[in-house]
Amino acid sequence: MSDCKLEPITKVAAKLGLTSENVYAYGPYKAKLPLSLMRKNPKGKLILVTATSPTPLGEGKTTMAIGLADAMAKLGKSVCAALREPSMGPTFGLKGGACGGGQAKIVPEDEINLHFTGDFAAITQANNLIAACLDNHIYWGNELQIDPAKIVFKRALDLNERSLRNFNYLIKQPKSVENQQTYNVSGQFNITAASELMAIFGLASDFKDLRQRLDNILLAFNFNSEPVYLRSLKITDALLLILKDAFNPNLVQTAKHNPAIVHGGAFANIANGTNSFVSTKLACSLADYVVTEAGFGADLGLEKYFDLLAGPRQLKVDCVVLVTSLRALKYQAGLALKDTTKENLYALETGLANLKRHMQIIQNFQVPFVVCLNKFANDTETEINFLKAKLNEQGLTLAVADVFSQDSEGADDLAHKVIQKIVSEANVANAKQLFSENADLMTKLTCIAKQIYGAKDVSLSEEAEADLALIRQQGWESMSLCIAKTPSSFTDQANLLNAPTDFTLHVTSFSAYRGANFIVAHCGKVLTMPGLPKKPAACEMICSDAEINL
């Protein structure tokens, strides 16, 4: 249960110019907002928060986004945060929640971190209805001649469960079926946040687009090696019935009672990594400033934001905030976690290579940005001044923020710098695209590997070569590219920290998400169904009669 006093959601909605007739309340503190509130050409200025490479300590990206929104509201600006919904996998696994922290958070955090308004449950159920109907079609005679050995659609679960990564099951047709067959089928589960349905949910622009994307989901290949799409099962309307309420964005509040629209929850290391497009467009329709964030570092979340969302949708990002911390930079230099809180200028200077690589990524897209230091209690003025001086050498200023303990007061410097950046560079065009829309798959892959990650080369496994040949045969190369890899490194190996160079990006396989309209390149040992750590956060949770404490 939240430890701060909440305002009725209708009062929060009023800050966006909405009346009780515009919101569909889910209890006193949560609501759904209808898509009819979206404007065709919203005028809100969009601020994208990203970070340097993640560490086990956390960089505070979501916390900073919320604190920045609160600080801008304190300055009298019309502002709304637009964030992803937490997945219960990380909530019960390592993270223990994803609503910000300290004084900068969205509330009621216990409800948001768990079932919230049921969006993840709806997506999971819709996903698994597809799998059930696919198997059922084969069971009752297989009119579409689906090859059970070539089913590519995966089931989903919003929990970390390594035992469901791969499994086998039987489809034994009844005796009433002519030429009765028994098939031994291999299946897999994705975590819901990595499913194609979540990607579709996040990228669809309206219900019409949602329907079309669902129709286009690739399920399998038939015995003639021809693709079989979801529309062949004639269940699209059933899926829309499950998803119709979930597709309306959710309205909650920050601890300072400012509006936050929270919707969609794709992971950035294995999916598109942003809140839903409709929630961002809705926020930009209702507020003058919108603060959103993209998962993990700029190499993953930010790159995908521009290449999968902002570019195709002509969505302008007016300013990027690049969050880092002294302890994160020292960790990138190779210090043990316990030593990152101690002053060490040599390690800080070494870790600056990671910050510079992320800055270069943003500069590749030619968008205005502000570097923000997330200040922690153990940070010394000597180290902070050292970082300021290093950035000054490159003509940049550093915003220092402490939103965890001070919330809006701690982000005052950041808010002023962001507003100044937006005003001074108001005429900057939309982000530059790194490659043409019609570029082939390997051109896109090589471009991201070299210009974003800093790789010297790309290599494909035999399986990936076979997948690429199939993609070319089907004429799918014009689809966008979504790279799935470890978030801990620019490479596909989690232990190679800082800013490696002269490395090869290893692609193990490709998957075609026809509904989401992107190809997933799986790199290294990345997993789309995580496992739980040795001591899951679930073991630390307390449930009393009155509340749930995360």
Annotated binding site for ATP: 55-62
Q: Which amino acid is at 297?
A: G
Locate 24 and state its tokens: 């569909």
Element (H, E) at 133: helix 119-139
How far is residue 518's CA from residue 481's CA, in Å, rounded to a whole number? 5
Q: Which of 147, 151, 142, 148 shows the shortest CA–CA distance to 179? A: 142
As a dihedral over the C-alpha atoms of residue 51, residue 55, residue 56, residue 59, rounded to 10 degrees, the angle is -30
CA dihedral for 362, 365, 370, 374, sign (positive or negative): negative
Locate 30 and state its tokens: 């949560």
State the binding site. Answer: 55-62
Q: Which amino acid is at 201?
A: F
Q: Which of 299, 313, 423 shows the shortest CA–CA distance to 365? A: 299
CA dihedral for 248, 252, 254, 258, sign (positive or negative): positive
Element (H, E) at 184: strand 182-187
- CA 347 to centroid of chain Cα atoms: 30
Element (H, E) at 520: strand 518-523
CB 66 within 8 A of CB 403: yes
Element (H, E) at 106: strand 104-107
How far is residue 131's CA from residue 458's CA, in Å, rounded to a whole number? 34
Locate 96 and state its tokens: 């223990």
**Strand partners of residue 182:** 172
**SS3 of 469, please?**
helix
Q: Find the helix packing angle between 207-215 and 236-243, rounded to 10°.
A: 140
As a 3-state breakdown, the chain gives helix, strand, coil percent values, each rounded to 5, of: 40, 20, 40
How far is residue 21's CA from residue 9's CA, in Å, rounded to a whole number? 12
Locate 482 and state its tokens: 């979504």
Locate 63 and state its tokens: 């916390």
How far is residue 281's CA from residue 37's CA, in Å, rounded to a whole number? 10
Locate 526 and state its tokens: 């990345």
How far is residue 15's CA from residue 86's CA, in Å, rounded to a whole number? 24
How far is residue 488's CA from residue 59's CA, in Å, rounded to a whole number? 12
How far is residue 450's CA from residue 154's CA, in Å, rounded to a whole number? 31
